[in-house]
Structure 1
C-alpha cells in the first residue's frame, strides 16, 4: 500500500523526430486541403498513407499533427459551431482510422494487397460517419444539405483520395520486395504511361469548352490503367490509379476555393471509383496468381541450381584428388630415377633398365587412371581433346567396340561445368552400352548456339541401325543420366538404337561457379471536413 501514500509517476518521452513528423503531417494536410474539393478530399488519403508508413509508436505524433491542422482551421469557427464540436471532431478521426489500420495488420502480412480496398472503404465510411454524426449532434443548427447527400459526397471524396495516396505508400512499403522495376522501361509500359499523360493534357485543353468531350476523355483514362494493371499486376494499378485520379482532380472545374463541387464530374467519379476498385482488386489477384505459378518454377530453378552446385563441388573434389595423385606419381618417379642412377653407377645396368621399363609402363597406366578420375586435359584443350587423348579413350580402345567419334563445333565456348558434365555423361552412356548391349558403338557430338544459348547435343548409338536398345537399357539410361543432364536444362532421350542427350549452357551455371457548374458551400462543408 506504499504506492497509495507516495503516489505513482507517469513519464512520457517526447522525441524530436516525432515533433518533426507532427509538423510535417500538419503542413501536408493543410496544403492538400487547399487543393481539395468535396468530392476529392486529399487529407483523407494523407491520413491513411501516414498511418501505413509510420510504425505504431509514432502514431501519437500523427494524432498531434492532425489536431494542430484542425486547430488552425477550426479555431475561428468556435462561435459558429461551438467549442465541443471543435474539440471532439478534431480529435476523433485519426484514432478511429488508426484503429482500422491496426485491425488490418494481420491482413497486411499476406501476399495479396486486397486488404488496401478494405482499409480504404472502412476509413472512408467511419470518417464520414464521424464527421456527419458529430456535426448533426453538436452544431447549433443542423447542416443545410440532406444527410444522405452529404454522406454520399463525403464517402466518395474520402474513398477516392485514399485510393490516390495509399497505393503509393504501399509501393514504398514494398520497395525492398525484390521487384525488378527495369521492366517499366519496356515500350508497352512507356506507351501506356504516355497515353495516360496525353489524355490528361487533352482533358485540360478540351474539357473547358466541351463538357461531353471531357466526360469521354475522362472515361478513356481507364484504358491505359487497365493496360498497366494487366502488365504489372497490383504495382501497375498502384501507379495507374493514382495518376488517373490526380489528372481528374487537376482538370476538374472548380472555383479555386475549398469545398468546390462539380455535378458532372461527380457522376464521372462514381464510375472512376468503381473502376479504381476493380483495377486494384484485379491487379492484386493477377500478382497473387503470378506468384502461385512462379513459385513452382522458382523451386525447379533452385533445385537445378543446387544439383549443379553439387556436381561442381564433386568435380572440384575429384580434381584435387587427381592432382594429389599426380604429385605422388611425380615424387615416386623422381625417387625411382635416383635409384636407377645409383644402380647404373654401381655397375647394375640390367636391373636399372628393367626398373625404368617397368616403371614407365606402370606410370602410363597410372596417369590414364588419374585422367579418368578428373580430365585435366579438358581444362587446357577442351572436351573433344579430353575424349580423344585421355585415359577414357584408352579404355574405349581396349574394348575394341568403339569406332572413331564424329565431333563438330567448338566445345571451348562452353562453360567448364557443362564440359565436365558432358564428359561424365558420355563416359556413363558408353559404359552402359558396353555392359548391356552388343555390337559396335558410335559417338556423335555437336556444340553450337540455338535460340541465343550455347549448348551441346550428343548421341551414343549402336552402329547397327536395325538394332534396338532393350527396355532395361533404356530404363537404366534415364535413371543414371537424367540427374546430371537436368542440372544443365537438358534431357535424356532413348530412341531405337541410341541414347540422345541435350544440354544448354544457361546463365545459372556462371552464377554457381565462382463534374460544368461550380457551387461553393462556403464554410459549412469546410467545417465538416
Structure 2
C-alpha cells in the first residue's frame, strides 16, 4: 500500500516535470531577447503550483538548459556552459515564495494583489537579466565577433523578460481568480465568459483596431509612421482598463504586446524596443489602476483615513492615465500638421505637372481626414480645454461639434468662477458631461441639451455643480444610440454607474431625475486645490526612456 502510494507521488512529480519541460521548449521557439515569452510561463507556474512540486519544476527545466549548455560548450567555453546549467526557475523561487508568503500576493480568498505581482515581476526580471548578463560576460566570443554593448543587451533582456511576463501572467491570474465565480463545469464557465461584455468588446473592437495598426506598421514607408502606429497600440489597454479594471488591462496588454512584436522588421530592432517600453509602461499603469479601483470598492465603509489615502492614489493614477492620453493627443495633432504640409506640397506639384486636374475632390477628402484626426485628438484630450478652459471647451469644443452633426440643439451656461477650478477637476467635469450626454442620447430621442455649470467655495474648499438638462423629442431620427458619440467624445458608454464612479473620485454625488419634458442629470464634485497640484502629471514625465545599465 505504501509502495503504491509512493509510486503515485513519483508519477505525479514526473508528469509535472515532463509537462513543464514540454511547455518551456515550445514557448522558447517563439521567444527572443525582445520578448521572452517563456519567462511569463515560468513565473505563472511558480505562482500557482504548490511548493511540494517545485523540485519537479527544477528537474523539468534542467533538461532543456543542459541541452543548450552542452551543445554550445565548444562555441562559448566551459565557464559559460557551467553558468547555463543553473536553472533560472531555481533562482526565482526564493523571490516568488517571499512574495507569496509575506506580501500575500495570491490569497486563497479575495482578489489578486496586483501591486505585489508587479513587484515580483520586476524582481525576477532583474534577476534573470543579471544571470544572462553574467553568462554573456564570461562567454568566449568567436573570432571576428563585434564588441558587445552590455547596456543595450541588458535593456533588451530586461524589457523582454518584463514584457513576456506581462503578456502571460496577468491573463493566467485573471482565469485563476475567476474560477470560484464560475459555474461548477468549466464548459459552462467558458461559455459564460465568451458571451460576456469583455470578450465581445475584445473581439469586436480591440482585435480589429490592433490588426489595423499592425497593418499600418508593416506597410508604412517611414519609420516615424511605423513608430506612431506602435505607440497607439497602448490605447486599447487604457480603454479596456477603464471599462473592466485590471482584467481588461490584462487582456489588452497581452493583445497589444503581441501586436507590437508582429511589427518587428528584424530581430534586433531599436524602435520596436522603444514601443515595447511604452506598452509595458501603459500595461503596468493600467493594471495598477484597475486593481486599485477594485480595492476602493472593497474598502468602502472602512476608516475614513484609509479611504482618503486610497482615493488620493486613485486620483494620481487617473492623472497619469490622463497625461498619457494627452501625450497621444498632442502626437496626433503633430501628425495632422505633417499630413497637411505634405498635402499642400502634393497639390503644388500637381498644379505644376497637370494643370487641367481639378483638385477640389482631393481637398475635400484630405479635409475630412484632418477633421477625423482632430476629432480623435480632441476626444482623447480636449484641445480647447487645454488652451481656453472648461467653459470654452463645452461651448465650442468637440461636444458642441458632435451634437451639431446630430441635429441636436445645445447650449452651455456658466457662472461662479469655473476657470478657477484646478485642471484635473475641469477635465473630470468635461468627462462627466461627455458621459452624461452620451447616456441621455443613447436611451432617448433628444431634441435640445443644456449644460449649466456653477462653482463656489465653502469651508476652504471649492465645489462645482454641473447639470445636464435633456429635452426629449418625438422625432425618432434624433436617436443617436450612443455609437457615434462614443467615438467622437471618447466616452465609455457604461451608463449612470460609470458617471457615479467618476464623480466619486472627487467625493462627488450624481442625481438623476425627470423634468417636465425630459430628464436631468446633476453632479457635484469637490476640488482640493493643494492636492490637485500633486495629482497633475506633466506630459514630459510620462515619456518612457530606455533602461541603461552601467
TM-score of the two chains, using structure 1 as the length reference = 0.49
TM-score of the two chains, using structure 2 as the length reference = 0.47
Greater RCO, CA 8 A, separation 6+: 1
* Higher-Rg member (1/2): 1
